[in-house]
Amino acid sequence: MGRIKLIASLCIILFSCYVVNAQELITEESRKAARNEQSIYIVMAVVLTLMLGIFLYLFNLDKKLSKLEKEG
C-alpha cells in the first residue's frame, strides 16, 4: 500500500507543474512549439519514474537478501 501512495504522490508532484491556460488564443505554430517543449518534460518524467522504480526494487531486494544472509 505504501508503494502505491509513493507512486501516486510522485505522479502528482511531477505533473502538477503542467499548467493549462485555456483563455489564451494560441496559434498553430505556438501549439507545435509548446508541444515540442512539453514533450521533453514528459519523456524526462517517464525516465525518472522508471529509474526510481528500478532503484526502489533493487533497494528492497538488497534488504531482503541481507535479511536472508543474516538468518543463514
45-61 pLDDT, tens per residue? 999 999 999 999 999 99
More confident residue, 50 or 41: 50
Distances (CA, A) of 53 to 32, 33, 46: 31, 31, 11
- Domain range for residue 23? 2-71
Handedness of CA 41, 46, 50, 55 (dihedral sign): positive
Does residue 43 carry a pLDDT above 60? yes
Per-residue pLDDT at 3: 73
Per-residue pLDDT at 68: 92
Does residue 70 carry a pLDDT above 80? yes
Per-residue pLDDT at 37: 79
Residue with cell 521533453: 40
Number of separate domains in the chain:
1
Mean pLDDT along residues 4-27: 62
Q: State the cell numbers at 27.
A: 496559434
